[in-house]
Amino acid sequence: MEKQPRILVSQFMLKNRVFEVTLNRLFLTWKELNARKKRVSGSIHNTFKVGFCLAKVLHRTRGVTSGSHCVPVSEIIAVQETEVDNIQTKDEGKWQKMSQKTVETYPYAFTVFYVERARQHRWRCGNVTFFCSDGLLRQQWVQAIKEQLSLQTCRPKHLLVYINPYGGKQQGKQIYEQKVVQLFTLASISTDVIVTERANHARDHLKTEADLKKYDGIVCVGGDGMFSEVIHGLISRTQTDSGVDQNCAHEKLVQCNLRVGIIPAGSTDCICYATIGINDPVTSALHIIVGDSQALDVCSVHHNDTFLKYSVSLLGYGFYGDILADSEKKRWMGPARYDFSGIKTFLSHHYYEGTVSFQPATDILGNPRDKTKCRSGCYVCQHNGQLFSEEIRDESVEGGVSENEDEREWKVVKGKFLAINAASMSCACPRSPKGLSPAAHLADGTTDIILVRKCSRLNFLRHLLRHTSKDDQFDLTFIEVHRVRKFKFTPKYCESEDTDVKDVRKKLFSQICRDHPACSCTSVNSNWNCDGEILDHAAVEVGVHCQLIKLFARGIEEKAGV
């Protein structure tokens, strides 16, 4: 077949007007040739139904000026030849068939589907249909656009999808079928879908059974808990395949190559919200289709040299641990369980004693009190990621852990805490759009430890309320925040080798309450909330693994659509 020219320029009809349409390696543009020409009634409009109606073209695309449009090739979803006979145009608010005259004059059409930016970081699938009188010209254009799309090698072709039918409002299956399937089909993505039948089904399948070579990525439909399952399966599988022992807290873990996409259908959806800017299934599906990639830090959590869990968002002891433990009993309430347990936990006002030790990350760019935030293409993440990989290289040359790391000073904070939170990312979510640590980075190799010391209910409420306003939630005397690469927590009432938290509670409960006759405390230790899962131990050792996994995301874009 004849080789396509590098740039295609042709004239096509659109909205009954003539447009000059240009395609090069980077952009598809269309520009009205005679902008003043009056619109003829019954004209062709570029919003219409083709099979199923994806979305109205709202002319919100970046780079749109009046009569001129520009779509990056990297944001084209698909191109299709269009049957002119079946096209319905929207005119004066009503769907109408195109006039016979137009059909006869311009019987050849093709439709381009592309990403449109809407409000609050939402993406939608827009479309535009060009009409012409020459069948060969249409064929040449469709072919050329398809060729450009085939050069987008970062796009996934075959995906493994896990759906949690019980997450959030139990809508996972419906959300996937009604909002995602048609987009994947349009983008020629094939899928193997597994609807989970029990907790840890996805994790175990990934860990031992799934033939990962077959896929270009994994998609999970659910909340943060479901995402956690998927990355546990994927990280464990990658380490096993590479002979790395997860139980060794100081071992360098091997990065996972397969990207993971999250179709939000959970209760908090913090990971999706903080990496894309919104928890919206269509937006997530489009980020998967265009083949976005965002690296993510992962914390490993160990107890006495035994691996417990990984965390990518919140590791919270005290307040958020107690909320989670209480809310698990109220799953039937759906996402509202967190508000209910939140108020209950706030009123109970428990504090916990213990020691937090950490190595402050001093050699990196960024600080938890920064005003600038982690955004798409973040310089801080790139810089610190580079620094981190250089350190790792040096270590492997010398063999063993670098001296620098061991020599770094450990800070020790002892006290009574309402909450100890480690946020590896902002933890932005619909409840708090700026998150627990607004300046935290997705991929800088660090986590922000937020210590909330014992204070009055009123002061704690002030701190909580500031998560929902512009005020600085760290600018309070009882709050400390540190950016770290590693930390340890030791509860005052330590667990012995073989006992778990429940045994400790039993053992110490009587003694504590003898010491404080008026106290209403129910437990001496809290639980760790690890991305929405409860850990079995209170004493933990945590290390950050810089950019261990990758998501189908690009970080939050600086400027959203109008």
Ligand X SMILES: CCCCCCCCCCCCC/C=C/[C@@H](O)[C@H](COP(=O)(O)O)NC(=O)CCCCCCCCCCCCCCC
Q: How far is the CB of 502 from ligand ADP (least distance, A)?
A: 20
To which residue do tokens 């409840």 refer? 431
261 belongs to the binding site for ligand ADP (CB under 6 A):
no
Candidates 226, 270, 298, 374: give the one binding ligand ADP (CB under 6 A): 226
DSSP per-residue string spanning 33-90: SSTTPPPPTT---S-EEBSB------S--TT-BTTEEEEEGGGEEEEEEEEGGG-EEE
Q: From the list 441, 466, 467, 482, which residue makes contact with Ca ion (rule: CB under 5 A)?
A: 441
CA 326 vs CA 240, 244, 322: distances in Å: 35, 36, 6
* Alpha carbons 421 and 254: distance in angstroms, whole number: 26
Binders of ligand ADP among 276-335, rule CB under 6 A?
Answer: none
Smallest gap from residue 330 Cβ to ligand X (A): 12
When binding is defined by CB under 6 A, the residue of 346, 474, 478, 509 that contacts ligand X is: 346
Draw the binding track, 91-120, toward ligand X (x: CB under 6 A; -: no contact).
Answer: ------------------------------
The distance of Cα 77 from the centroid of its chain, to the nearest Å, equals 20
Amino acid symbol at 155: R
CA dihedral 199, 325, 498, 315 (to 10 degrees): 90
Asked if 167 is part of the footprint of ligand ADP (rule: CB under 6 A), the reply reads yes
Near ligand X by CB under 6 A: residue from 164, 432, 523, 527: 432
Task: Write each residue from 213 to 252 as x if it is in contact with Ca ion (CB under 5 A), else as -, in one continuous string.
Answer: ----------------------------------------
Helices (H), 350-467: 379-398, 403-407, 457-465
In the numeric block, which tokens belong to residue 407?
Answer: 């020599």
Work out which of 126, 156, 225, 318 binds ligand ADP, going by CB under 6 A: 225
Residue 266 in contact with ligand ADP, rule: CB under 6 A: yes
Min CB(433)–ligand ADP separation in Å: 18
| Cα atoms in the 13 Å half-sphere on the side-chain side of 106 | 22
Query: Binding ligand X by CB under 6 A: which of 464, 476, 513, 534?
Result: 464
Give the number of other Cβ atoms within 10 Å of residue 438's Cβ.
24
User: What is the smallest separation between the CB atom of 49 and ligand ADP, expressed in angstroms?
Assistant: 33
For 506, list phi and psi in degrees, rounded to 5.
-60, -45
d(CA 537, CA 130) in angstroms, rounded, equals 62
Among residue numbers 490 through 529, which ones bind ligand X (CB under 6 A)? 529
Dig out the tokens for 46 from the structure: 């570029």
- Minimum distance between the CB of residue 427 and ligand X, rounded to whole angstroms? 4
Catalytically active residues, by annotation: 224
> Which one of 220-228, 282-290, 325-333, 441-449 is the stretch in contact with Ca ion (CB under 5 A)?
441-449
* Binding partner of 164, given ligand X, ligand ADP, Ca ion, none, CB within 5-8 angstroms per partner class: ligand ADP
Q: How many CB atoms lie within 10 A of CB 492?
A: 15
Rounded CA separation 148/125 (Å): 19
Structure tokens at 80: 């299709």
9 forms beta bridges with 22
Separation of alpha carbons 235 and 207, rounded Å:
8
467 near ligand X (CB under 6 A): yes
CB 317 within 8 A of CB 532: no
Q: Give the residue at shortest CB distance from Ca ion.
A: 297
497 binds, among Ca ion, ligand X, ligand ADP, none (CB under 5 to 8 A by kind): none
Question: Is 371 a residue that touches ligand ADP (CB under 6 A)?
Answer: no
Out of 116, 216, 224, 297, point to the residue binding ligand X (CB under 6 A). Answer: 224
Per CB under 6 A, 438 contacts ligand X: no
Q: Which two tokens stand for residue 337?
A: 């369980």
3-class state of residue 91 by DSSP: strand
Tell the smallest beta-carbon distance from residue 160 to ligand X (Å).
20
**Least distance in angstroms from the C-beta of 551 to ligand ADP:** 16
Binding partner selected for residue 116 from Ca ion, ligand ADP, ligand X, none, CB under the kind-specific 5 to 8 Å limit: none
Using CB under 6 A, list all residues that contact ligand ADP. Answer: 164-168, 196-201, 222-226, 229, 266-268, 532
Using CB under 6 A, list all residues that contact ligand X. Answer: 223-225, 266-270, 313-314, 320, 323-324, 338-339, 342-343, 346, 427, 429, 431-432, 436, 461, 464-465, 467-468, 529, 531-532
